[in-house]
Amino acid sequence: MSLPLVCLHGWGLNRRVFDSLDAMAIDLPGHGASPWDPARASLAAQAEQLIEAMPPRCDLLGWSLGGQLALHIAQRWPDRVSKLVLVATTPRFVADGAWTAGMSPELMQRFADQLARDWHATVDEFLQLQVRGSRDATQALIELQRALREHGEAHPDALAAGLEILRTADLRDAARAIAAPTWVIAGQHDRITPAAASDWLAANIPGAQGLTLPRAGHAPFLSHAPDFAAALAAFLDAA
């Protein structure tokens, strides 16, 4: 009997982005229908809230910020995660002296400043950046916007907290300690988390498999829905 698949979405979105998948999706704290609690601002605190909503054991898929949370959960509670899927995920969002597959600190700060001035415009720009360079970009953007329209926008404080997680989190050591069979999938033209970051995860998580989808951006499960679903099913059935 197969285990349930649980999906964790990315920054600024909600669980409805996974409507096309046969899965249980959970809103991140302060996103969608999940109320915001300032005590849940850190990555560890958000992971604790999510683990409380998850089945006792499941396959876990995380996308972008949700991928970082999934990495932490799989490392912190290995008995709860049977198989791990990381979509457009990076262990370290911001570049530093030892990590080049990330956003510059200066650009990250400008993004944070823009969020503080006009969070609606910042989220809208972020959605457009997610689909840039991908096949079926228009339809993918429509699906992202639909999720927000139908299930609700994130709380502004949750957006700021998520951005701070992305700015500070470094999950390279956690990735090396993952025990679950892992599949890492990237978009060739991802403008937010470079494919090189996914390549690093595939090379450093023990036994992980990696796939880069050509002409895909940051949301390959939307722009390449049939290909993504088929590859996901093959991994979950075989692992």
The residues that are catalytic are 64, 190, 218
Nearest 5°: the CA angle 97, 102, 107 is: 95
For the record, the structure tokens of 24 come out as 């249980």
CB-count burial class (<10 Å; 0-12, 13-18, 19+) for 22 = exposed
Q: Do 58 and 77 contact (CB within 8 A), yes or no?
A: no
d(CA 88, CA 217): 9
DSSP assignment, residue 113? H
Crossing angle, helix 156-168 and helix 65-76, to 10 degrees? 60
